[in-house]
């Protein structure tokens, strides 16, 4: 039986009261006692309160992937009539989402929620079949006391709506016998539908000895000085807390002189004012202590130390606080009404709650009669032990089993699930479409997005779960040629079939299906049999469809689990449209190498990822053809590739010429084929022209057989493969199997088997990738030509025994981990992992950053956080000069600068139980030794740590702040994200390279702002903080030069004053310079700190936005992104800080006023004349904007963190073990 617990009762304000603790404790106990049942949890992501605590509470009891999060509208409160449509739509969605998880039973932990918003639940409002539903029944107090509780129309409507849902439930699980009898009397229900499951308290509640430390804590934390009477719980009228105040005041001076009344827990401001007024009237203000919100540990300490715990409630469903107090050994007295006697269990500990004098007498007896107090203390734990969460949970589950036995069981096969989800989707859409009320297009669009997201999440769950031992598996892609993809497809298909799976091999390619070669099928009967088998294996009924084809067509996959297998990619960037296709369609990607998996993670792929690697033992089946003539003489270096630019052949020819000359007994044999990207002849001609005695080279372009290729390997002495980027590098593996030493670049997919122990690795520098994809922020590795030449000389001149040590190690590694049977086993395990954990875990994330200050990093962080889909904790640096008021998510728990040891920060991270940290790094933020220790501690604690580096250039002025001091700690982080290629290379020189990635600055989503009316005057705008290196004084001079030359131009300087003296000085100089040049009518300065949209309103009215920087150590400019976001042409000075946006901005010829004037004038004329090159740059800029908007980057960063959280240590059978 699949039991789905709606745990919104632990999300709302109820989480601070007994209902929240009850809901969580019962869910934990049901999970502990589930047996063969599956326990699932549903939470509402629109109201994120308590979700982190729920995950923590269920850790180890319910797998994280079974805690499902759905979203609804947030405007769902009952007081506002305008919220009726969004509330009704949300209830229909919520019921549909829960049903889509295909539970046998839904258990609503707290139905009477959401009066003011903050939760959405209902039963039976969505038409059609629904799962059986149980509701925890706490009480029906408002129904029985309508005058006190249901006085207003909206409250009555809300409550009675919930009562109708309650009546539609299949099972009511009461928390006490009294609550059951109340329900039977008030609702006229079948007694079999109402079961008393009782209640209990957490085993955490136990007596605690109050030593000196605990007593001191009570004094310092709460102001409790000695003996005290205690109460905890809600403050609504039925709780009778005011009756307790009156009773306490009647205890007499002898007791009041040394006794306090402690009211524990969160008290609303309204209730606090009311109680304060009552206490003042009674003359006991100085004796009343309000603790405010407290932790469970603090509550236990208070219970344990209480002289007496009083529970004066007039009406209860159970009375959980009284039971908690008794479990902690507090002498406990309470009301003689409703369910409270069940809990307290002694008549002599009961009183009439409506009689303050009787309450006072009971309190006085406990405080003055030591024997009676001792008797109550001894009795309390024994009575509490009668109530067990395990017993409660077993009662609940047994009752559900009885109801479920009379209903048909759900079928969760993939075909049945797919049909059910499709029908459920239609039911939700049609039901919402039939709702009454005015509704706007925006709300309909929001509902459509939420329905689609909820359905997609449920589809991922339906596809998941345990797969059968023998899988039906379609392998799709080309397989009938020597093409590398075809080789992988047929080898994997055969290896999967050898593992006992039912495998079909389907012939298709990126553009579509095609018939395989009949000749190939005739020559390969095993492959032909697999191709024939696919005809009886339709995709809709297959367990798995895995594809390898180009381009990667995925939209039409139709099996339960759909994935790409042995997927390869090379450069660090990846096409975002493909990312979106993968995320929308696939259940996983099994990558060809760890290099590829890292690229997928860094690109924002949200489908689960694994690595299957490749097999190489097919090479053993090839018999060499010794008759094939191999050109050249002496020591033969071999290169085998397409000679695409990424293969590094130009660098190889350069290095070869540096390493050897014609007089050396060496030659280079290049096996390639003619193609549009292959310029090997031109590269060779250039190399020979540069060096008259260039060594011998032979190029083979014609087709040769595998047998001839194998002989070519055997006739050569070393393989050289200085690739700029590789997905795997099969020729290198083939060479290793032939005992050839391999020289290759120390970056790429080949590193899974090319290690310092198995190959000769060549150093490199990161450079921008030059491919036909023209991807922004994409890099590859430029091999160091001198290092490559040195490696070639080393291999040529080394002792054969030394070479043999590495070649033997290489062959052992390949034989151990890179057989096709190994790849198939890993692929199968990937598929089972994808099904077991179909959705990435939701991270509990903390951002360590500056916040709400005049700081570019703070702005960057706030925009990324705002664009995210899940709430985060902001662990901000202390700051007095804040731009806006902090929100509830912000905790200021560290100070910028040296000497800060970050201990408060660590404590806050622990308190919030965060599992992921996103850290914004600037040199001024941290004390470097302390920061290094902090990073290492967080990794030791098992957290995902992502550091975003906003600068990587060490300042000479402060030798204590050099990156080398934190390099080791950075290398241990999960990701170090940077903004430029220069950053990558600086970190690489420090040994931080395997975990780095480019992550750009973002741009805001500009509002629709009308542009200024057409005018002959040209307008330039500048943007950013008013600081010396920004070149703003030089820009004023440049405008003066343009005006002097007759250019009709004006300048708007949107440059806010930065809170440092030098900024004010610069502004003063600018004012003087404008006045001296007579530019007052042409230059307008805006130096106040504007909101983003106010700044954008100025920029969109310009013809050109300029950033005339003079020099900076920053890695990239955040300000230039705002200029690009405006959609206007952006001009920049020729500095490295703008390299990452180099092809979407217009470079000025220099940084001097003269160069600025010359460049700006030419650009303005070109803009006005519709210049073609300007238009092309603007087209690239538009594409750049689509990929750099903050919501896009925020989703990508969230996905990166979730992928890193999902990553598991590589298994022993993993390819790079």
Quote the pLDDT of residue 1009: 54
Residue 483: C-alpha distances to residues 723, 824, 1017 (Å) = 19, 19, 61
How many whole angstroms separate alpha carbon 167 and alpha carbon 175? 17
Quote the pLDDT of residue 1007: 57
Cα distance from N-terminal residue to C-terminal residue, the chain: 41
Quote the pLDDT of residue 66: 93
Tell me the per-residue pLDDT of 362-408, one tens digit each, with 9 for 90 and over. Answer: 999 999 999 999 999 999 999 999 999 999 999 999 999 999 999 99
Tell me the per-residue pLDDT of 1141-1176, one tens digit each, with 9 for 90 and over. Answer: 888 999 999 999 999 999 999 999 999 899 999 999
Are 224 and 214 in contact by the 8 Å Cβ rule? The answer is no
- The more confidently predicted of residues 215 and 935 is 935
Quote the pLDDT of residue 211: 75
SS3 per-residue string spanning 981-1019:
HHHHHHHHHCCCCCCEEECCCCECCCCCCCCCCCCCCEE
Bridge-partner residues for 892, per DSSP?
Answer: 876
Quote the pLDDT of residue 389: 95
Residue 985 has pLDDT above 70, yes or no: yes
Quote the pLDDT of residue 621: 94
Place 770 in a pLDDT band, splitting at 50, 70 and 90. Answer: very high
Least-confidence region, from 765-779, 967-981, 1088-1102: 1088-1102
Quote the pLDDT of residue 1211: 37
Place 297 in a pLDDT band, splitting at 50, 70 and 90. Answer: confident
Quote the pLDDT of residue 233: 80
How many whole angstroms separate alpha carbon 851 and alpha carbon 906? 18
How many whole angstroms separate alpha carbon 253 and alpha carbon 256? 5
How many whole angstroms separate alpha carbon 76 and alpha carbon 12? 13
Are 927 and 919 in contact by the 8 Å Cβ rule? The answer is no
Using the structure block, give the residue that is written with the tokens 């949970």.
393
Quote the pLDDT of residue 1213: 36
Closest CA to 850 of 919, 911, 910: 919
Alpha carbon 186 to its chain's center: 48
Residue 449: C-alpha distances to residues 444, 453, 681, 1186 (Å) = 9, 6, 54, 20
Tell me the per-residue pLDDT of 1107-1140, one tens digit each, with 9 for 90 and over. Answer: 999 987 676 787 898 899 999 999 999 998 898 7
Quote the pLDDT of residue 1216: 39
Task: Map out the domains of the chain with their CATH numbers.
Answer: 2-200+393-460 (3.40.50.2000), 212-386 (3.40.50.2000), 472-611 (3.40.50.11930), 617-817 (3.40.50.2000), 845-998 (3.40.50.2000), 1018-1188 (3.40.50.2000)
Element (H, E) at 1061: helix 1061-1077
**Once rounded to an integer, what is the mean pLDDT over residues 863-870?**
89
Tell me the per-residue pLDDT of 1067-1108, one tens digit each, with 9 for 90 and over. Answer: 999 999 999 999 999 999 999 988 888 899 999 999 999 999
Quote the pLDDT of residue 1008: 64
Residue 1172 token pair: 């073609």
Tell me the per-residue pLDDT of 643-679, one tens digit each, with 9 for 90 and over. Answer: 999 999 999 999 999 999 999 999 999 999 999 999 9
Burial of 147 (0-12, 13-18, 19+ CB in 10 A): exposed
Quote the pLDDT of residue 1215: 39
In the chain, what percentage of residues exceed pLDDT 70? 98
In the chain, what percentage of residues exceed pLDDT 90? 84
Residue 1214 has pLDDT above 50, yes or no: no
- The more confidently predicted of residues 1004 and 155 is 155
Cis peptide before 551 (omega within 30 of 0): yes
Quote the pLDDT of residue 1010: 63
How many whole angstroms separate alpha carbon 382 and alpha carbon 1199? 50
Residue 1006 has pLDDT above 80, yes or no: no
Place 693 in a pLDDT band, splitting at 50, 70 and 90. Answer: very high
Residue 434 has pLDDT above 80, yes or no: yes
Residue 314 has pLDDT above 80, yes or no: yes
Quote the pLDDT of residue 1143: 87
Q: Which parts of 1010-1136 are beta strand (E)?
A: 1018-1023, 1049-1054, 1083-1086, 1104-1107, 1130-1132
Rounded (10°) angle between helices 594-602 and 1190-1206: 140
Tell me the per-residue pLDDT of 576-602, one tens digit each, with 9 for 90 and over. Answer: 999 999 999 999 999 999 999 999 999
Quote the pLDDT of residue 956: 84
Residue 869 token pair: 């889909």
Using the structure block, give the residue that is written with the tokens 């047994």.
398
**Once rounded to an integer, what is the mean pLDDT over residues 447-463?**
93
Residue 1210 has pLDDT above 60, yes or no: no
Residue 717 has pLDDT above 80, yes or no: yes
How many whole angstroms separate alpha carbon 90 and alpha carbon 95? 9
Question: How many other CB atoms are found less than 10 A from the CB of residue 129?
Answer: 12
Handedness of CA 238, 242, 244, 247 (dihedral sign): negative
Are 554 and 586 in contact by the 8 Å Cβ rule? The answer is yes
**Once rounded to an integer, what is the mean pLDDT over residues 66-91?**
95
Quote the pLDDT of residue 623: 97
pTM here is 0.81
CA angle 1135, 1140, 1142 (to 5 degrees): 65
Q: Any idea what DSSP says for residue 646?
A: G
Alpha carbon 169 to its chain's center: 36
């Amino acid at each position: 039986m699949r039991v789905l617990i709606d745990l919104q009762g632990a999300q709302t304000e109820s989480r601070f009261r007994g209902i929240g603790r009850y809901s969580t404790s019962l869910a934990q106990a049901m999970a502990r006692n589930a047996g063969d049942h599956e326990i699932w949890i549903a939470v509402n992501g629109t109201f994120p309160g308590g979700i982190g605590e729920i995950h923590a509470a269920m850790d180890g009891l319910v797998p994280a992937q079974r805690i499902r999060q759905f979203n609804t509208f947030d405007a769902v409160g009952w007081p506002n009539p305008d919220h009726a449509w969004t509330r009704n739509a949300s209830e229909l969605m919520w019921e549909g989402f829960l049903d889509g998880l295909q539970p046998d039973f839904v258990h609503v932990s707290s139905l009477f929620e959401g009066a003011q918003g903050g939760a959405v639940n209902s039963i039976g409002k969505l038409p059609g079949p629904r799962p059986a539903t149980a509701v925890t029944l706490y009480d029906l107090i408002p129904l029985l006391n309508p005058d006190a509780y249901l006085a207003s129309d909206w409250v009555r409507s809300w409550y009675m709506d919930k009562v109708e849902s309650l009546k539609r439930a299949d099972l009511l699980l009461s928390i006490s016998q009294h609550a059951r009898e109340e329900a039977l009397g008030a609702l006229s229900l079948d007694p079999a539908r109402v079961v008393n499951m009782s209640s209990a308290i957490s085993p955490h509640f136990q007596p605690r000895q109050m030593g000196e430390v605990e007593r001191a804590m009570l004094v310092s934390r709460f102001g409790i000085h000695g003996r005290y009477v205690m109460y905890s719980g809600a403050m609504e009228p039925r709780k009778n807390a005011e009756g307790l105040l009156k009773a306490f005041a009647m205890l007499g001076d002898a007791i009041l002189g040394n006794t306090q009344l402690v009211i524990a827990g969160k008290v609303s401001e309204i209730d606090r004012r009311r109680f304060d007024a009552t206490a003042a009237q009674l003359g006991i203000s100085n004796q009343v202590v309000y603790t405010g919100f407290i932790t469970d540990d603090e509550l236990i300490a208070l219970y344990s130390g209480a002289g007496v715990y009083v529970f004066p409630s007039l009406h209860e469903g159970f009375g959980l606080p009284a039971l908690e107090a008794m479990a902690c050994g507090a002498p406990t007295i309470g009301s003689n009404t409703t369910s409270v006697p069940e809990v307290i269990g002694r008549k002599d500990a009961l009183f009439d709650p409506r009689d303050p004098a009787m309450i006072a007498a009971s309190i006085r007896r406990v405080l003055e009669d030591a024997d009676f107090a001792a008797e109550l203390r001894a009795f309390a734990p024994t009575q509490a032990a009668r109530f067990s969460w395990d017993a409660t949970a077993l009662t609940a589950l047994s009752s559900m089993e009885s109801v479920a036995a009379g209903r048909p069981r759900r079928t969760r096969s993939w075909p049945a699930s797919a049909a059910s989800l499709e029908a459920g989707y239609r039911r939700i859409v049609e039901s919402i479409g039939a709702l009454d009320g005015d509704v706007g297009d925006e709300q309909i669009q929001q509902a459509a997005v939420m329905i689609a997201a909820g359905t997609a999440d449920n589809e991922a769950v339906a596809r998941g779960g345990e797969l059968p031992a023998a899988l039906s598996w379609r392998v799709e892609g080309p397989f009938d040629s020597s093409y590398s993809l075809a080789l992988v497809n047929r080898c994997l298909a055969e290896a999967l079939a050898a593992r006992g799976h039912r495998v079909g091999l389907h012939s298709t390619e990126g553009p579509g299906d095609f018939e395989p070669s009949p000749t190939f099928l005739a020559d390969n009967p095993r492959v032909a049999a697999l191709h024939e088998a696919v005809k009886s294996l339709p995709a809709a009924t297959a367990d798995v469809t895995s594809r390898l084809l180009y381009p990667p067509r995925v939209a039409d996959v139709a099996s339960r689990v759909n994935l790409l297998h042995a997927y390869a990619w090379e450069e660090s960037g990846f096409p975002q449209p493909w990312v979106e296709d993968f995320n929308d369609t696939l259940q996983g990607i099994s990558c060809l190498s760890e290099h590829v998996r890292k690229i997928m993670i860094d690109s924002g792929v949200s489908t689960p990822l694994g690595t299957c690697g490749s097999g190489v033992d097919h090479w053993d089946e090839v018999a060499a053809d010794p008759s094939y003539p191999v050109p050249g003489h002496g020591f033969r270096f071999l290169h085998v590739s397409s000679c695409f630019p990424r293969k590094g052949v130009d660098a190889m020819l350069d290095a070869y010429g540096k390493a050897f000359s014609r007089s050396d007994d060496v030659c280079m044999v290049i096996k390639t084929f003619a193609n549009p990207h292959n310029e090997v002849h031109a590269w060779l001609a250039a190399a020979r022209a540069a060096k008259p005695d260039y060594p011998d080279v032979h190029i083979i372009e014609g087709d040769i057989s595998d047998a001839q290729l194998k002989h070519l390997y055997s006739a050569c002495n070393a393989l050289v493969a200085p690739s700029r980027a590789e997905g795997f590098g099969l020729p290198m593996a083939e060479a290793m199997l032939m005992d050839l030493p391999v020289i290759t670049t120390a970056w790429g997919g080949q590193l899974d088997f090319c290690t310092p122990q198995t190959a000769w690795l060549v150093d490199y520098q990161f450079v921008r990738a030059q491919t036909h994809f023209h991807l922004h922020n994409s890099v590859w590795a430029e091999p160091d030509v001198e290092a490559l030449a040195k490696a070639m000389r080393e291999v040529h001149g080394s002792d054969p025994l030394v070479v043999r040590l590495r070649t033997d190690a290489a062959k052992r590694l390949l034989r151990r981990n890179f057989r096709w049977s190994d790849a198939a086993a890993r692929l199968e395990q990937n598929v089972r992992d994808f099904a077991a954990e179909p959705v990435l875990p939701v991270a509990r994330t903390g951002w360590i950053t500056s916040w709400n200050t005049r700081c570019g990093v703070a702005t960057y962080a706030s925009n990324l956080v705002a664009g995210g889909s899940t709430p985060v904790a902001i662990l901000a640096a202390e700051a007095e000069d804040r731009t806006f008021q902090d929100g509830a998510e912000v905790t200021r728990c560290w100070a910028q600068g040296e000497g800060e040891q970050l201990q408060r920060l660590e404590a806050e991270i622990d308190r919030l139980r965060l599992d992921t940290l996103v850290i914004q790094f600037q040199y001024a933020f941290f004390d470097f030794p302390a920061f290094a220790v902090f990073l290492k501690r967080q990794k030791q604690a098992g957290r995902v740590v992502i550091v975003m580096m906003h600068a990587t250039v060490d300042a000479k002025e402060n030798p204590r702040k050099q990156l080398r001091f934190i390099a080791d700690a950075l290398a241990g982080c999960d990701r170090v994200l940077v903004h430029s290629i220069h950053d990558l290379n600086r970190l690489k020189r420090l040994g931080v390279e395997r975990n780095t990635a480019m992550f750009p600055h973002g741009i805001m989503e500009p509002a629709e702002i009308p542009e200024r009316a057409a005018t002959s005057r040209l307008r330039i705008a500048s943007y950013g903080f008013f600081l010396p290196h920004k070149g703003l004084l030089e820009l004023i001079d440049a405008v003066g030069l343009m005006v002097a030359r007759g250019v009709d131009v004006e300048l708007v300087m949107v440059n806010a004053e930065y809170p440092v003296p030098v900024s004010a000085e610069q502004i003063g100089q600018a004012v003087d310079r404008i006045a001296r040049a007579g530019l007052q009518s042409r230059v307008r300065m805006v130096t106040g700190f504007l909101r983003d949209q106010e700044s954008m309103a100025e920029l969109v009215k310009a013809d050109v936005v300029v950033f005339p920087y003079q020099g900076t150590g920053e890695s990239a400019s955040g300000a230039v992104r705002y200029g690009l976001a405006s959609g206007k042409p952006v001009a920049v000075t020729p500095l490295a800080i703008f390299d990452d946006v180099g092809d979407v901005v217009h470079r000025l010829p220099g940084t001097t006023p003269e160069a600025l004037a010359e460049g700006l004038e030419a650009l303005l004329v070109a803009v006005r004349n519709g210049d073609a090159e300007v238009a092309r740059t603007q087209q690239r800029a538009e594409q750049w904007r689509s990929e750099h908007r903050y919501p896009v980057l925020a989703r990508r960063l969230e996905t990166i963190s979730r992928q890193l959280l999902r990553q598991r240590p590589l298994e022993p059978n993993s390819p790079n073990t």
